[in-house]
Structure 1
Amino acid sequence: MVDVSGHFAMALLFATPAWIIWGGRGALAFTAFTLVTAMLPDVDLVLRHFVPVSHHGVTHTLLFVVVVSSIIGAISARYLTSYLNAHSRIRSTRISRETVFVFATAGFIIGGVSHIFADLLSAPDIAAPLAPFWPIYRQHIVIDVIYYDSPIWNFGLLGVAVALHYLLARHKRYPLHTRYRIGDPKKGNKS
């Protein structure tokens, strides 16, 4: 497992496609949301005080990340869609429940998967190895190319990720026109 800055860096790297899908404000919101969700698998550090789970156990699996992300995405779509449509800072004529579901679910999945990937790159230096494909493939997977406390990897990767997002934000093309777009394409809004 890399330190928190390494997890944030990996989440930033995994969130870069948001600039193509949403562009502008949508991409910034998605990137910020992905940073918040990047620590999702480490919920086991809190849960272990209440239930018998181990660090790098079930919460560090793709199954856990996808199931939790889908549940939170469905709840978000149900309860946040009308709020987002009524919010004055969101420049859109209509945000569908489907868009809110995709946005929230993808943010959680990308944050969680980036966390698992970063842990694969550095476990088992000081933590147990991961079995991210459990229950389909129960064997541990170890890549182990990064040392946990390496400032070069953690902060270097964070610097590269921030620079990449800066370059993508400065790019003036509109995002792809998809049904998940946030903003009104008829008004020429950059979202």
Structure 2
Amino acid sequence: MVDVTGHLGMALLFAAPAWIIWGRRAALGFTAFALVTAMLPDTDLVLRGVLPVTHHGVTHTVSFVVLVSILVGVFAARWLTAWLNSHRWIRSTEIATETVFVFATAGLIVGGVSHLFADVLSAPDIAAPLEPLWPFYREPIIVDVIYYDSPIWNFGLIAVAIVLHLILARYRSYPLETRYRIGDRSESGDGAPGHPAAGDRFE
């Protein structure tokens, strides 16, 4: 495991492709969702006080991360869709509930999986190894190239991640044309600022 700084840095690195996939505004939202679950697997440190769970146990599995992400994604789709459609900052003609679900769930999964990836790179040093693919694969996966207290890795990860996001934010990207796109075409230079191009809907 790395410390909190390292986990946040890894989540930022994992979320960086959002600038290319969705463009500027949506990338910020996607990154926020990823940061929400950057520390999700470590909820076992709290739960073990009331439940029979161990650190690097069930909460440090892809299955757990995906399940929680889907549940929160459903909640986000139910309660955030109307707010997003009424928010001027989004600049979209219409965002469907399905789009919000996919966007939120993907962001949350990215954050949680980034945590597992960082732990695989650093465990076991002061904690047990992970079985991230449980229950489908029940053997530990160990890489162990990072030490928990290494300031080079922890602060280095977040520094590199922040610089990468700033670089991607500096240049105009051209979001991929998908049914889950959020934002208008003006972000990619295809229309006048603030005015969605024809056909830019989310159906």
TM-score above 0.5, yes or no = yes
What does residue 50 of structure 1 align with? 50
Q: CA deviation at 1:188?
A: 4.6
Shift of 1:29: 1.7
> Offset of 1:185 from its aligned partner?
2.5
Alignment-derived partner of residue 81 in structure 1: 81
In 2, are the aligned partners of 1:30 and 1:107 still within 8 Å (CA)? yes
- Once residues 95 and 170 of structure 2 are traced to their aligned partners in structure 1, the CA distance between those partners, rounded to angstroms, is 25
Q: Give the structure 1 partner of residue 201 of structure 2.
A: none
Q: Conserved in 1, the CA contact under 8 Å of 2:25 and 2:183?
A: no
Q: Deviations over 1:94-145 (max 9, x none)?
A: 1111110111101110000000000011111111110001011111111100
Q: Runs (4+) of structure 1 moved beyond 6 Å? A: none
Name the SS of the counterpart of 1:32 in structure 2. Answer: helix
Q: Tell me, which stretches of 5 or more residues in structure 1 are unaligned? A: none
Return 165-174 or 58-67, whichever deviates more: 165-174
CA RMSD of superposed structures (Å): 1.6
Aligned counterpart, 2:64: 64
Q: Structure 2: where are the runs of 5+ without partners?
A: 197-203
- Pairwise mapping of residues 118-129 of structure 1 onto structure 2 (< 5 A)? 118-129=118-129
Q: Which moved more, 1:82-91 or 1:20-29?
A: 82-91
Superposed displacement of residue 173, structure 1: 2.8
> Where does residue 145 of structure 1 map in the other structure?
145
Partner of 1:7 in structure 2? 7
What percentage of residue pairs aligned between the two structures are identical? 69
Write the deviation string for residues 148-189 of structure 1: whole angstroms up to 9, x where unpaired: 000011111211111111111112133122211112227555
Partners of 1:162 and 1:83 lie apart in 2 by 28
**Cα deviation code 1:38-81 (max 9, x no counterpart):** 01111111111221111100000011111111111112112221
- Count the aligned residue pairs: 191
SS across alignment from 1:137? coil
Check whether the contact 1:183–1:189 (CA below 8 A) recurs between aligned residues.
Answer: no
Say yes or no: does 1:134 pair with 2:134.
yes
* Secondary structure class of the residue paired with 1:146: coil
Match of 2:106 in 1: 106
| Alpha-carbon distance between aligned partners in 1 of 2:174 and 2:193, rounded to the nearest angstrom | 9
Note the C-alpha offset of 1:10: 0.7
